[in-house]
Amino acid sequence: MSPRIVLCTAGSLGDLHPFIALGLALKARGIQAEIATSVEYGPKVEAEGLVFHRVGPGVERLSADLGMDLAGLTEAIAKSDRFLFEKVMLPYLEDWTREVEVVARGSAAVVGATFAAGAAMAAELAGVPYVSAALQPTVVFSAFDPPYLPRAPWLKPASGGAQLWLNKATIRLARASTAHWTKPINRVRRALGLPDSDANLLFDGAARADLALALYSPLLSPPQPDAPPGFAVTGYAAYDSEAGGASVMPRELERFLKDGPAPVVFTLGSAAVHIPGDFYVESLKAARRIGRRAVLLVGPEGDLGVADGRDAIAVPYAPFSSLFPRAAAVVHQGGVGTTQQALRAGRPQVVVPHLGDQFDNGARVARLGAGAVLGRGRYRAERVAEVLGRVLEDAGVVETARRLGVVAMQEDGAGVGAEKIIALID
């Protein structure tokens, strides 16, 4: 009988897709891959021939419990990390862990994303190895390559000296300021029959795992000197099918792409798309200011009528891996999946961060010389046109993006991750 690996994730499509890619890579190697996540993702997981387990509250349950629709939930998370941890994660942690533990019994290992907070405890309860999987550099908290945080702009890459000291001091302070989450987690541990732990929810996942993987491109952040032993940056685990199975380009979009020069693609991914504000209206105005055609990916509930001329098209979704290489540039929210798909496509980027790790991902794109960052509060047509025009006309940025795309396309993060997991359980 094939060994079973349970893959646990929570969040947006950017949190799900790398786990589907990893599951498919494990399946191709004779492993039974099973994904444990919220109910909304069941059809997509099962369409790929992977086993699906419903765990944790879905969007409908969260909305009912918190009295917020999806847009309200997204905006609240954008405004406060505490809301994410104290309202979305911790209240459901015990039930989530118990559900995963049932699934994990008899498995060969449990793999957990950073925000699948109970995965490590479920593995502990089931007595199986635990693999942590970081999906973005932000959650690794290296003092040598710290995340860019709007509230701590002094954090910068360092190899030594005063800057490294400042980075380490800031991370110690951040660790202390989040230590209060250990108390409710230990209440859950005691309810589950586990001993208390001093592990920090944000900072200690990789260090306490049997194997620590980073399923993102080393272009964003290679392994650092302060990484835990055995920590491996595998490369991006790419996947972007809408409903499972082969990716399909919408027919009307295919016709549009063939009917003129490469457009600028504007997208807010799968989370920020719920709080678009005037993003798409201002985007279309900006594209017209610089004489570019536009593709607007407005999401399943977006306004398709926002594209009001032959020079633009609005569609709910398109596979990034097929669309981005045919774009002149990509303007997006900075989700780690969107960022890496744009890197793989070799196209210049303008990143407009809305929440979470998007600020750091945007900063890394700019540091690479592959694009620019524009604040959400400054997203007006005049400013967008100025920044976008500058990026498109800068031969250095265009060439850097192209060159990085060649490198990124060689990555097989899912395959490398699968091999390391198999080596762990053999």
* Residue 55 CB burial class (10 angstroms; 0-12, 13-18, ≥19): buried
Q: Both tokens of residue 113? A: 């994303």
Q: Give me the pLDDT at residue 208, please.
A: 85
Q: Is residue 244 very low, low, confident or very high in pLDDT (cuts 50, 70, 90)?
A: confident
CATH number belonging to domain 4-238+412-425? 3.40.50.2000
Distance CA 159, CA 162 (A): 10
Which residue's structure tokens are 């209240």? 91
**201, two tokens:** 């929810």
Instruction: Tell me how far apart the alpha carbons of residues 11 and 331 are, in angstroms, rounded to a whole number.
Output: 22
d(CA 93, CA 57): 10
Cα–Cα dist 45/243, whole Å: 9
Q: What is the mean pLDDT of residues 223-243?
A: 90
Q: Would you state the pLDDT for residue 2? A: 87
Mean pLDDT, to the nearest integer, of 75-101? 89
304-326 pLDDT, tens digit per residue, is: 999 988 999 999 999 999 999 99
- CATH 3.40.350.10 assigned to domain 251-408? The reply is no
Determine the average pLDDT of the residues in 232-248. Answer: 85
Residue 246 pLDDT exceeds 80: no
Distance CA 204, CA 140 (A): 9
Element of type H or E holding 131: strand 130-134
Name the band, by pLDDT with cuts 50, 70 and 90, for residue 364: very high
- Work out the pLDDT band at 261, boundaries 50, 70, 90: very high
Q: Kindly tell me if the per-residue pLDDT of 247 is higher than 80.
A: no
Give ranges for CATH 3.40.50.2000 in the chain: 4-238+412-425, 251-408
pLDDT at position 382 is: 97
pLDDT digits (tens, 9 = 90+) for 174-214: 989 888 888 999 999 999 999 999 888 888 888 789 999 99
pTM: 0.94
For residues 154 and 66, give the distance between their C-alpha atoms in angstroms, rounded to a whole number: 35
Write the CB contacts of 389 (distance below 8 Å, at least 6 apart in sequence): 289, 290
Q: What's the confidence (pLDDT) of residue 12?
A: 87
* pLDDT score for 115: 85
Structure tokens at 324: 């981005």
CA–CA distance, 217 with 346 (Å, rounded to integer): 14
312: helix, coil or strand?
Answer: strand
